[in-house]
Structure 1
């Protein structure tokens, strides 16, 4: 551009804009504030335009545009997964940048508490969402579980399962599923109760009841001829009940007589 005044002339050379610091690809966590910045050389003034895909970005409550000296920047808060995409800054030149929004994991369906009978197969399942890939771990109380003779772990893209085989009282406890990705970690727990057995005797003031090692005992403290008769032991749990009986015949004076029942056979028949 040539400007003349009298005998003096001045020459202005317009330098086209060039990026001396280009935009860089960005990967940030959902909820954080991202600033994309580039530096431009060239003659002033310059016209700057930001776009996401084909949509022009303007200053708003979500987007803050800045142009100070030769520094051009775009600041935005990552509020949704839709913020992922290609952003471009145009100053008579196109410069592309990619932005990935990492969404931390959250549960869509959590493991549910369960109460089961001995020797049952137990299934826990969790469904989650977020940005893959995920790292999924299962725990019993504070111990991490791995696939083996007592349990099997399964993993699909957005769900995981834990199967416990032939559970017993030792499997009682808190089972938890932990899901992690680059943006965070979430954990959900559920209780497993393996139901036991309740033993019930019909007895009077002259009787003493004991129960040890799956064996129930009824002790007659002082026997008399009036104690002759049928004695019954009943075993109960949530699945039902079973009973067995025996006949006591007092001959002469029998002291400290014992009747012993082992209900495990009857319980096994009920549970199968």
Structure 2
């Protein structure tokens, strides 16, 4: 969805102060510059050289803009103890422009036929408010769901291929169907449940009497350890049929050994 970027250009005085302490001297610059005020509160001041701004404030808590009758402007951005002020010296050019996230094109929006792009952990439509959050390690696929959205692949003990819209196909439900109660708690023997608290994880069913928790595997499960936890492929394993040397227990501190071939992974 489009948001507004404000752009100013002209001869300006830029004043940056790092704190409110009386002993701190502000940094001042004067020149013909271009000022960019982004929707997230970021303010950038660019001069004629290089790619780096001569002054900036990232994601300011507040940005106040003033325009006078002579075509000049003043802009003040504040973030905690930082303060950036940009004031034009006479008439300046001003403009407002629509802007969206910029990312890799991944499909067409079924709601409005706009372009879908993947950027900053989301799939976003450039023409409407549609937005879909992605797991950090998700790979978008060339396949399209019946609903019209792209599909993704995520490794959570196995490879899951789902729609990017959780309301269409829910990753949590798919992982629970596959792995809930598949393994035993090494501490008390209870079943390990697939739970979510900000992220998916394995937790003992006997909580709070047993507080054992484990990160859900982010690579393929290939068997079970003698301790009751799953065994997963080693991080640098290139695939193929894994032997014991190519796998490890989900618990990196486990001292158990399989004592033989790994059991088959749950299906």
* TM-score, normalisation: structure 1: 0.22
Higher relative contact order (CA 8 A, sep 6+): 1
Between structures 1 and 2, the one with greater strand share: 1
* TM-score, normalisation: structure 2: 0.22
Give the structure with higher Rg (CA).
Answer: 1
